Structure 1
Amino acid sequence: MPTPSTPATQHQVEHEITVSAPADAVYRMIAEVRNWPRIFPPTIYVDYVRKTEYDEQIRIWATANGEAKSWTSRRMLQPEQRRVNFQQLVSSPPVASMGGAWIIEEVAPGESRVRLLHEYRSVDDDPEGLSWIDQAVDRNSRSELAALKENIEAAHLASELTFSFEDTVRIDGRAEDVFDFINEAGLWSERLPHVAKVRFEEDEKGLQTLEMDTVAKDGSTHTTKSYRVTFPYHGIAYKQITLPALLTLHTGYWTFAESDGGVAATSQHTVVLNSENISRVLGPDATVADAREYVRTALSTNSRATLGHAKAYAEALARKTG
């Protein structure tokens, strides 16, 4: 363990990639953190803690070396330089400190270089912890830059392949009870007929891993795995990391809003279709419109079924206490 007079060892690394897109467009995608779960595979959810025009504090939930972690960062935006500096304010062990910058440079008309800088150290300068961070930073940086390149360069298809929708059910009960039903996903195999098996973990309060086997109308079983972030008693955000063949992205949000003595419970989905698999899954004549309708119907059917059981659960409790 270093003594107080020993300077902490800061490790510096840099990753970069070239993107066939204007530098300003790349900067905007990096600066707007609400879209990060759609852009960067490790990111589960991002929320603003504080925000001004050029200085913001955000909380990030993401995976690192297959583990879900959360931390709070400060970001300083410099749009004229196309630079975003960041510094973790609250890190998760084995990280003691972490900072860096995104720098976007125009190398030619319509072509940009994205540089991702990191500077960090491990708790107590532990070599094993440092090795873990080295691997996580390298893996996540390469993944983030590759995803950034892919998403921006495929932007001309995004409007057709990316879409969002939601389903809302009115419940005569308390938001807390509806939240509890969705939050207690470890009990879903007992509470939801379309869920055959559940593997549920919550190692960190409010950060959950949910893997479940769901049964489709034709009797087939599908396994999905998601990371979830909970905000009692008003919302649960999630990102699905094992995806069916028709999707390359699926994020969502459950919300529970009390009004007029009841609750509006909503399930929101954002998906990106995998255009390469449409004909294989739905037939040679299937179109993107067909795939959109198929996916929306499948996801809405499960969401509305879950909300229906949450409604019965919360209203039964309301009758008992009323």
Structure 2
Amino acid sequence: MSSQRVHASERTAWIAAPAGVVYGLLADAVRWPLLLPAPVHVERMDFDGVRERLRLWDVAGERVRSFHLRRVLHPRSRTVEFEQEDTARPGAHTTGTWAVEARGAAACLVTLRQERTLEGLPAAGTERSRQEWEAEPAERLAHLKAVAERWERLDELLLSFEDSVHVDGPAELVYDFLHRIADWPERVPHVESASVIEDVPGVQVAAVDTCATPDGRTIATKAVRLCFPSAARIVYKELVTPEPIAAHTGEWSLIPDGDGVRVVCAQQVMLREEAGTELVEARRYVRTWLGRASTETLRLAKWRAQTTVRRLR
């Protein structure tokens, strides 16, 4: 027998950071994948400066989830109202509010209030969902606290860059190369092995061993890749990152360029605090390493696409 239950919760956390900084982190949802552990990608569908509609993907255990999220931002009161719906469970509907209250110049109290309605689920399923959901607010607050309290060093820890190449060939051939990451060990020299799980079309979980670091180390990574063939984009977030990287997100995008296409690999990195006084060197090291790997992949995608075109002529 199905049931409908409403579960309410309220959690608070003291954060040693200015209220404006914390509110800014909450308001800028597009940056969450790099700053917070669970979000993989946030796509802004609509925004008028106050109200916004988002599509969000995150990771819960081994599962990649997708949500629709509507939000209303109130910068003066430092509150964010939200309404969230799980795309896989239309009856799992959550509403709530984030509130940030200043407690001096460099501290604040953050409150997360939310209610979830679970419709059409058996009692046992509802209980499991309730237990999972009740753990989420504390985790979200803890993750927010961890990044917010590094606010004075955050700009030093963040690194963004891109590499690109022009291809005289159709975007479809380049996209196919980038999408088939399971084939990269045979196509890309720095990729030693790759295994891919794609239980949901367009959502890949890829475990990859590479050897592209300046010192020749082999590193193991694991990433979620979201593939959007109609938009010629693949966005990704690494779930397992090597030293000195704390978080790594990126996007492969194909942009029409004359008779061909410009292929761009844009990457964002957050370095670990442990880099300490060696932060400048760590930034240089990561830029060299990741840039070398992306440039090699771009050049090989170009070569394969242009070679295929020549064969077909």
2:94 aligned residue: 98
Tell me if the contact between 2:82 and 2:96 (Cα under 8 Å) persists in the aligned partners.
yes
Bigger mean CA offset, 59-68 vs 86-95:
86-95
TM-score, normalised relative to structure 1:
0.89
CA change 1:154–1:84 in 2 (3 A) is: same
Query: Hey, what does 2:235 align to over in structure 1?
Result: 237
Deviations 1:107-131 (A, max 9, x none): 3332211112222133523334334
Q: Does 1:303 align with 2:294?
A: yes
Task: For structure 1, list consecutive stretches of 5 or more residues without a partner in the other structure.
Answer: 279-285
Whole-angstrom CA distance in 2 between matches of 1:145 and 1:10? 22
Mapping 1:18-29, distance limit 5 Å: 18-29=14-25
Alpha carbons of 1:257 and 1:18: their partners in 2 closer, same or farther (altered >3 Å)? same
Give me the whole-angstrom Cα distance separating, in 1, the residues matched to 2:217 and 2:106.
46
Q: Please give the alpha-carbon distance, in whole angstroms, between the structure 1 residues aligned to 2:33 and 2:251.
A: 12
After the TM superposition, which of the residue ranges 101-110 and 290-299 deviates more from structure 2?
101-110
From the superposition, tell whether residues 188 and 138 of structure 1 become closer, same or farther in structure 2 (CA, over 3 Å). Answer: farther
Please give the residue correspondences for 1:29-68 in structure 2 after superposition, counting only pairs within 5 Å: 29-68=25-64
Quote the Cα distance in structure 2 between the aligned partners of 1:90 and 1:142. 19
| Match in the other structure for 2:210 | 214
Match of 1:265 in 2: 263
1:68-102 C-alpha deviation (Å, 9 max, x unpaired): 11111111222232221111245323862222221
- Cα deviations across residues 271-296 of structure 1 (Å, max 9, x unaligned)? 12224156xxxxxxx72221111111
Structure 1 Cα separation of the partners of residues 135 and 185 of structure 2: 34
5+ residue gaps, structure 2: none
Report if the CA contact (8 A) 1:39-1:151 is conserved. Answer: yes
Describe the SS at the equivalent of 2:252: strand
Q: Does 1:290 align with 2:281?
A: yes
Distance 1:182 1:95, change over 3 A: farther
Identity of counterpart residues, as a percentage? Answer: 33
What is the aligned counterpart of 1:159 among 115, 130, 155? Answer: 155
Matches of 1:261 and 1:162, distance apart in 2: 36
**Does the 8 Å contact 1:174/1:262 carry over to 2?**
yes
- How far has the Cα of 1:210 moved from its partner? 1.0
Counterpart for residue 197 of structure 2: 201
Q: Aligned pair 1:17/2:13, yes or no?
A: yes
The 8 Å contact of residues 56 and 75 in structure 1, kept in 2 or not, is answered as: yes
What is the aligned length? 311
Distance of 1:132 and 1:187 partners within structure 2 = 38
Offset of residue 317 of structure 1: 2.2
* Cα distance in 1 between the residues matched to 2:51 and 2:45: 11
Task: Supply the distance in 2 between the matched residues of 1:297 and 1:95 (Cα, whole angstroms).
Answer: 47
Letter in 1 for 2:257: S
SS at match of 1:68: strand
Question: CA offsets per residue over residues 108-156 of structure 1, 9 Å max, x none?
Answer: 3322111122221335233343344334434443332222212222121
